[in-house]
Every structure is written in C-alpha cells, then in structure tokens.
C-alpha cells in the first residue's frame, strides 16, 4: 500500500502555521479530518488555549485526538483515508524530552531514552501515512532564537531535517505567508 502524502509546515510563534495547515487539509476531500494535539495544560494560560482550540476545532468538523505523549497510541484512532493534522512537533518534543522531570529523571538525562522515543515516532509517522490519505505536520521554528537547552535544539534540528526529507512538500510560514521550501 502506498503511503499518504506528508506536508511539513514550520514557522515562528503565531506566524499562521496552524491556520494554514487547517485550510490546506479542509480543501482536500476526506472522510474525516483528524487533529492530533500534543499540548498539555500545565498552566492556566495553556489550559485556556487548549480549551479555545478544542472549541474552534469542534465547530470546524475536526475529530480531535489529544496525544501529548506516546503518539503511537493515536494510531488506533486513525482510519483509512483520514486527513491528519499533527500540531505540533515542538510541543511533543518538550513533552517527551522532559518526561520524568517531576521525579528528577527527565528523559533528556537518561542514556538512549530520546533515541528510543524518536525511533518510535518515526515508525508512528510511517504507520499513520500507511492509513491516512494525508499527514500535515506543524512545528515551531525556534532554531533561529536563543534557546538555552542544547539538547532540545539538537533534537529539534534532527527531527525537522528528517521530516523535511520524508515530506512531499515543506513550507515555512512568515507573517501569515507560506513560502514553499520543498
């Protein structure tokens, strides 16, 4: 079975990535539009944003799958021909990289932990593409900014490069304008 199309959309915070991704998908006929959401409500601001996004998607005909960790569990909820939007890589990475910090053992400090999670995510993306008609992946572009966590930057750069190499198309959003990079 041929893999579904994959599109990568990156850009700065509030650059219009998610809105562009949603419009792209909703213009493609599909039996269902699935929103894979990676956010976690760790503070009141994030809780409010998640609730607002859930309400917006509910009115837009989306099936939302909240999956902040272990994205492979979302596979059970993807059906043949679905149009899938994963928003977003940077949130998923932070969730996975720092999982266990409450116990003083974040993944980032455990040898081989993130490597195993990344291999599992690569397999998950391939498996989503085997089922879905299209997978659109959104990510923040933070590599140009001053980020203190070198591990986070290293992983994000590696993940972005792999996703772009695997994608059929890649776009960079800047001030609400999509620039095709691949």
* CATH assignment at residue 158: 3.40.50.300
Q: Assess if residue 181 is contained within a domain.
A: no
Residues annotated within a binding site: 11-18, 37-39, 66, 87
User: What is the band of 2 on the pLDDT scale with cuts at 50, 70, 90?
Assistant: low
pTM: 0.89
Q: How many structural domains are present in the chain?
A: 1
Q: Indicate whether 136 belongs to any domain.
A: yes
The helix (run of H) or strand (run of E) holding residue 9 is strand 5-11
3-state secondary structure of 169: strand
Domain assignment of residue 143, yes or no: yes
Query: How far, in Å, CA of 130 to CA of 127, rounded?
Result: 5
Assess if residue 107 is contained within a domain.
yes
| Structural domain includes residue 182 | no
Count how many residues are written for the chain. 182
| Residue 13, domain extent | 5-176
Q: Is 64 a member of any domain?
A: yes
Cβ-count burial of 51 within 10 angstroms (0-12 exposed, 13-18 middle, 19+ buried)? exposed
Active site residues: 53
Range scoring the smallest mean pLDDT among 93-102, 128-137, 151-160, 162-171? 93-102
Q: Considering the domain boundaries, does residue 153 fall inside one?
A: yes
Are 134 and 113 spatial neighbours (Cβ–Cβ below 8 Å)? no
Residue 165: inside a domain, yes or no?
Answer: yes
Feature table: binding site for GTP: 11-18, 37-39, 66, 87
Inform me whether the pLDDT recorded for 137 exceeds 70: yes
């Amino acid at each position: 079975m041929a893999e579904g199309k994959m599109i990568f959309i990156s850009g700065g915070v509030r650059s219009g990535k998610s809105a562009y991704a949603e419009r792209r998908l909703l213009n493609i006929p599909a039996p269902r539009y699935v929103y894979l959401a990676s956010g976690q409500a760790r503070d009141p601001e994030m809780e409010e944003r998640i609730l607002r996004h859930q309400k917006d998607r509910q009115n837009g005909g989306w099936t939302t799958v909240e999956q902040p960790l272990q994205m492979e569990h979302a596979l059970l909820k993807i059906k043949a021909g679905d149009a899938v939007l994963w928003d977003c890589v940077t949130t998923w990475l932070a969730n996975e990289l720092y999982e266990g910090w409450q116990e003083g053992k974040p993944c980032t400090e455990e040898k081989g932990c993130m490597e195993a999670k990344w291999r599992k995510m690569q397999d998950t993306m391939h498996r989503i593409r085997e089922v879905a008609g299209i997978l659109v992946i959104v990510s923040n572009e933070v590599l140009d900014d001053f980020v203190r966590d070198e591990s986070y930057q290293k992983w994000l750069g590696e993940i972005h490069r792999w996703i772009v190499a695997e994608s059929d198309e890649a776009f960079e959003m800047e001030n609400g304008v999509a620039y095709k990079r691949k």
